[in-house]
């Protein structure tokens, strides 16, 4: 009855709040670390407040999200599919599963993973390459895909293209310039 229904809604609300809080915390922490010295003077309350602004406004216009949900998914996949390929290749093939945890949490100006002031052009180009592959296979504006999309989706080719581009660009440029903390992979001949 009503009691069990309300109880179930309370559990769902609690589960959503706790998961959103952990996502917001980790995202704002990443933003703060990536911002380095620029974001050091910004208080935690201001940083999270700014981050919450867009969702706080969007909650008053739910039809915009619901009516465009599939387009929203396609646009997020456009970036996340190749980014996942970059992550996988970087961790398993370029770094051979070895990371220095302390450097992951250091500000970008101190971390071995800072690349060029916190940016790695090789990964950015790789994600763009993967996004272009995704866009060619499935247009996010019209949701119309090529015939290949029916068999391979857009995410898998985008994932593979992004990962391959990252591997090639990192081996050709980033490692040779001594950026990104790839020492072990360089010494092992990977």
Secondary structure of residue 139 in the 3-state scheme:
coil
pLDDT at 187: 53
Instruction: Please count the other Cβ atoms lying within 10 Å of the Cβ belonging to residue 128.
Output: 14
The phi-psi region of residue 100 (left if phi > 0; otherwise alpha if psi is between -120 and 50; otherwise beta) is beta
pLDDT at 28: 87
Instruction: Please count the other Cβ atoms lying within 10 Å of the Cβ belonging to residue 178.
Output: 10
Average pLDDT, the chain: 86
Calculate mean pLDDT across residues 115-122: 85
Residues 64-81, buried b or exposed e (16+ Cβ, 10 A)?
Answer: eeeeeeeeeebeebbbbb
Question: Above pLDDT 90, what percent of the chain?
Answer: 33
CA distances from 102 to 93, 108, 182 (A): 21, 12, 15
pLDDT at 80: 93
Calculate mean pLDDT across residues 11-22: 84
Strand locations in the chain, DSSP E? none
Give pTM, 2 decimals.
0.72
pLDDT at 132: 96
Q: Is the pLDDT of residue 190 over 50?
A: no
Q: Is the pLDDT of residue 9 over 80?
A: yes
pLDDT at 185: 46
pLDDT at 188: 47
Structural contact between residues 116 and 174, judged by C-beta atoms closer than 8 angstroms: no
| Residue 81 or 106, more confident | 81
């Amino acid at each position: 009855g009503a009691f069990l229904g309300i109880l179930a809604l309370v559990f769902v609300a609690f589960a959503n709040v706790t998961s959103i809080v952990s996502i917001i915390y980790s995202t704002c922490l990443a933003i703060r670390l990536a911002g380095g010295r620029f974001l050091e003077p910004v208080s935690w309350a201001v940083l999270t407040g700014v981050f919450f602004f867009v969702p706080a406004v969007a909650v008053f216009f739910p039809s915009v999200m619901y009516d465009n949900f599939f387009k929203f998914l396609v646009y997020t996949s456009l970036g996340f599919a190749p980014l996942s390929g970059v992550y996988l290749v970087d961790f398993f093939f370029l770094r051979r599963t070895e990371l220095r945890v302390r450097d992951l949490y250091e500000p970008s100006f101190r971390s071995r993973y800072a690349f060029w002031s916190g940016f790695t052009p090789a990964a950015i180009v790789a994600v763009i390459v993967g996004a272009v592959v995704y866009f060619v296979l499935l247009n996010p504006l019209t949701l119309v895909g090529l015939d290949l999309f029916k068999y391979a989706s857009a995410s898998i080719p985008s994932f593979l293209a992004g990962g391959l581009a990252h591997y090639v660009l990192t081996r050709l440029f980033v490692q040779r310039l001594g950026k990104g903390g790839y020492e072990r992979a360089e010494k092992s001949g990977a």
